[in-house]
Structure 1
Amino acid sequence: MRFFARVAAALACLFAPPAAAQLVTPAVRATPPLPTDKTNIWVLDLSTGGRVTILLRPDVAPKMVERVKTLTRQHFYDGLPFHRVIDGFMAQGGDPKGDGTGGSTLPDLEAEFNYLPHVRGAVSAARAQDKNSANSQFYIIFQPRLQLDRDYTVFGRVIDGMSHVDLIERGEPPAAPSRIVRAYIASDDPPAFQPAPVAAATAGLGEPATLPGTTAAIPRAAPVPARRPARSSITRRPTRR
């Protein structure tokens, strides 16, 4: 019996992995915000007749989330149209020129590609072919487009009011584009939704962005006056032109 015990102990030592190999620390994901966290709720009042509530995800795209909060508080998005809307794919907005060539004067952002999927209601940043070119433009997914995953920065998802997104006028560009009446961050205590006419926005420069799988432009932020204009475009994929 002692012989067999010694053999078993020897075999255990022989096939046991090194001690260091057993100390594998799994990657830890940051905790996402709760749907009740008003500091990370983006509110869009649409001309389609209702309010859309979007849960922002600073745990995976902190730079884009911060950009959206900054521009929202500057009233940048108020009155902007959804200039490129493809049925069964996405609605693209965030361009002050309304033609896919506009954006903010803030610098472009580094890519924050992450594990969030392009499912219905996903909100993602438009960009040019340069992966580090997201700025102000974004798109909301109508139907899953998973081939865009890890190639565009998903930074939020619609958690209420998707029916109002579904009513956004289609077209590239739409004949009578739907608009963002007002944009808010929920922690800023926005007033109750009130439908109102919106004047067309005209300021801004930039290059259009393209969406994966498309050939049309996805709007993005305009560069500062000293910079070369940047554009964004959405093809059947989201990227700026």
Structure 2
Amino acid sequence: MLKFAAAFALMASPALASGIEIAVEGEGANGTITIDLFEDVAPKHVEQITALAANGLYDGVVFHRVIKGFMAQTGDVEHGRLGMDMSRAGTGGSDLGNIPAEFSEMPFDAGVVGMARSQSPDSANSQFFIMFDAGYFLNGQYTVVGKVTAGMDVVNAIKLGHPRSGAVTGQPDVMKTVTVTE
């Protein structure tokens, strides 16, 4: 119970030093997603996301893995650009290097944004995911970096991928532009 109370307290009042706005276009979703980034919870991850966004590296990157009732993953700045061979989407990262895990007690509720990674906890780089619903099995296993504050309807409309793998076929929805907000 104490763990839940601590997580709730963190969720209720994180310092929101910055955020991002994502303009999404595609067959499924069209609109803007506003995300507050939790700089006090995951400072290194937030720094990396805002650097990538400020330099336009997220612009044109697709939602390559989308699983109904779970999450939508994007952010592969190396292999996930619209118009590329999507068979490698989800395997790349940025030139900024991997980030050490910054696990917290914040729960993976609907609208929470987490950093994607490989088997190593210290392998997050540029990819992130947005939760459609709660996924508490991720708690303490992945870094929470923010939360959707507007545009959850846009998130929920993102084109779904294959029911088993989540791989999006055909024309995936894309982050047309990603801008840093204060």
Q: Into which bin does the TM-score normalised by the smaller protein fall?
A: 0.7 to 0.9
Runs of 4+ in 1 over 3 A off after TM superposition: none
TM-score normalised by structure 2 residue count: 0.81
| Aligned with residue 168 of structure 2, among 173, 184, 187 | 173
In structure 2, give the amino acid aligned to 1:151: Q
Tell me how far apart the structure 2 counterparts of residues 81 and 132 of structure 1 sit (CA, whole Å).
24
Tell me the equivalent position of 1:73: 54
Unaligned runs of 5+ in 2: 1-9, 81-88, 162-166
Q: CA deviation at 1:173?
A: 2.2
Q: Larger relative CO (CA 8 A, sep 6+): 1 or 2?
A: 2
Tell me how far apart the structure 2 counterparts of residues 32 and 86 of structure 1 sit (CA, whole Å).
28
Unaligned runs of 5+ in 1: 1-28, 188-241
Contact 1:127 1:134 in 2 (8 A): yes
Tell me the equivalent position of 2:69: 88
Contact 2:64 2:74 in 1 (8 A): yes
1:139 matches 2:117 = no
Give the secondary-structure state (helix, strand or coil) at the position aligned to 1:108: coil
Q: Deviations over 1:122-167 (max 9, x none)?
A: 0000011111000000000001010100100001000100100111
* Percentage identity across paired residues of the two chains: 42
Tell me the equivalent position of 1:56: 37
| Aligned with residue 41 of structure 1, among 19, 31, 52 | 19
| Aligned with residue 180 of structure 2, among 182, 185, 192 | 185
Tell me how far apart the structure 2 counterparts of residues 58 and 106 of structure 1 sit (CA, whole Å).
18
| Aligned with residue 149 of structure 1, among 123, 133, 139 | 139
Tell me how far apart the structure 2 counterparts of residues 61 and 157 of structure 1 sit (CA, whole Å).
12
| Aligned with residue 158 of structure 1, among 132, 148, 156 | 148
CA RMSD across the alignment: 1.3
Tell me the equivalent position of 1:32: 14
* Count of matched residue positions in the alignment of Structure 1 and Structure 2: 154
In structure 1, give the amino acid aligned to 2:177: R
Structure with bigger strand share is 2
In structure 1, give the amino acid aligned to 2:130: I
Contact 1:54 1:157 in 2 (8 A): yes
